[in-house]
Amino acid sequence: MKVAAILKVIDSARASESVLEVYRERHAHLERAADIVREALRDAIMEGDIAPGARLREEELARQFRVSRTPVREALQQLNSDGLVQTSPHQGATVVSMTIEDTLAIYVVREALEGVSARLAARRATPAQCESLLAIVDQMEASLVANSPNDMAELNLRFHAELRQAASNRHLDRFLTQIEHAVRRFGRTTYAQAGRMQTSIGEHRAIVEAVVAHDPERAEALAIEHMREARLLRLRMLAEEH
């Protein structure tokens, strides 16, 4: 191997270690080493710093995280269960790639589950939870004024997390959290599309109004339609990229 090629490999390895160090520090408050490794790798994958198709080698990760291979192995097994990596006896762990088919499959499930979440929230939400949902929508309005798609995307995550809490179903919360992790891997937010921020705010506010009115059927229908619009936009973005 030529010297230039060797130096390139070394630089790439150093960059990888630097990136993982940031994520490791982010989750340093966790008590178990396996939890730190898992959450750091999850964030790095979902935020695009570990690319689809990348190989995750236990020995290398153990060195970078300064732990034994046992917590690394446990972390990779959990990420495999979550669908973020694929493991095989001979290839080890590889970050799963996202296809258009994956996008369709994820949104089909998400539409149904978000509909259930809104339906249950309309039945069970407390006055305090309704106020929290309304406050998030008000913050979305501020993001629109500031023209900040990334802030809007973060508020969208908070909104749907709050809706799940109001639904008060731990199994639904777990399933939707896994779906949310998958959606974050799509990359560029749909809120970067012209007009999406404004229309989405209207969709969120309508959902909250149905929840406040304790109208489960309307809340469910609005949540499904909201997810359907997001799916269509996402597919359009993928078509433009290809």
The tens digit of pLDDT for each residue in 153-190 reads 999 999 999 999 999 999 999 999 888 878 877 767 88
Same domain, 83 and 169: no
Is the separation of the CB atoms in 115 and 224 below 8 Å? yes
Which of 40, 73, 95 represents a domain boundary (last residue)? 95
Say whether 85 sits in a helix, a strand or coil.
strand
Which of 76, 95, 114 represents a domain boundary (last residue)? 95
Same domain, 44 and 135: no
Same domain, 129 and 80: no
Same domain, 129 and 91: no
- Angstrom distance (rounded) from CA 210 to CA 227: 16
Q: What's the domain range around 18? A: 3-95
pLDDT per residue, tens digit, the chain (242 aa), is: 554 443 333 334 444 556 788 888 889 899 999 999 999 998 888 877 888 888 999 999 999 999 999 999 999 999 998 888 988 877 789 998 877 888 888 899 999 999 999 999 999 999 999 999 999 999 999 989 888 888 999 999 999 999 999 999 999 999 998 888 788 777 678 888 889 999 999 999 999 999 999 999 999 999 999 999 999 988 888 777 66
Same domain, 177 and 227: yes
What pTM was computed for the model?
0.72
Same domain, 76 and 118: no
CATH of the domain at 219: 1.20.120.530
Same domain, 108 and 122: yes
Same domain, 122 and 237: yes
Name the domain count of the chain: 2
Same domain, 128 and 210: yes
Same domain, 158 and 222: yes
Same domain, 114 and 80: no
- Angstrom distance (rounded) from CA 215 to CA 86: 42
Which of 95, 112, 131 represents a domain boundary (last residue)? 95
